[in-house]
Amino acid sequence: MKRSLLAILLLVQPILSQGYEEKLYKQHGNYKIFYSAFNSSFIDSDIAVANNIVRGKGKGLVNIAVMEELTIGTPAKVTGRVFNILQQSQSLEFVAVKEQQALYYLAPFTFENEDYLTFKITVKPNDGKPSYSYDFKFQKKMYHD
């Protein structure tokens, strides 16, 4: 039985957060924007190959999901950057992943062991309504496996 990537992400998030993040979403109007960042090694190798995800030491993924209804993903344009404590930054290139009604956006990034990272994200829902964008940030300390 093949697991979906979304199911894996939702299952490992409580383990990965380890109390560092109080809340795993931001509320903007009718939208809940769920977010997480984790080591790419948490993704099964078969799923990584199927989704062109590079796994390895110092390689992470940021996951963003935009929802109006809790079970249905809302299409959006997601952009962002990740900064370390020295303010060195990387652009985040998000790719949409769709599985049944789930829709989420993944972007790879690199990190050093014990890097304390700040993710600055912009989400612009593409739902036919007037154009708004939502900016938020979150922080995460990343460790090599």
Range of the domain at 51: 5-142
Q: What CATH number should be reported for the domain holding residue 103?
A: 2.60.40.3340
Res 15 pLDDT > 60:
no
Q: What's the number of domains the chain is made of?
A: 1
The pTM for the full model equals 0.81
pLDDT above 80 (res 130): no
Q: What is the per-residue pLDDT for 70?
A: 74
Instruction: Examine the pLDDT at 60 and tell me if it is beyond 90.
Output: yes
pLDDT > 90 fraction of the chain, expressed in percent and rounded: 56
Report angle CA 40, 77, 144 to the nearest 5 degrees.
Answer: 15
Average pLDDT over residues 42-62: 89
* pLDDT over threshold 70, residue 8: no
- pLDDT at residue 9 tops 70: no
pLDDT digits (tens, 9 = 90+) for 80-105: 999 999 999 999 999 999 888 889 99
Distance CA 107, CA 130 (A): 26
Separation between Cα atoms, residue 4 and residue 1, nearest integer Å: 10
The predicted structure's pLDDT at residue 48: 85
Q: What is the mean pLDDT of residues 119-138?
A: 86
Which of 23 and 57 is assigned the larger pLDDT?
57
Instruction: Pick the closest to residue 47 from 90, 106, 91 (CA basis).
Output: 106
pLDDT of residue 121: 97
Is-contact 82 89, C-beta < 8 A?
yes
pLDDT over threshold 50, residue 2: no
**What does the pLDDT read at residue 23?**
73
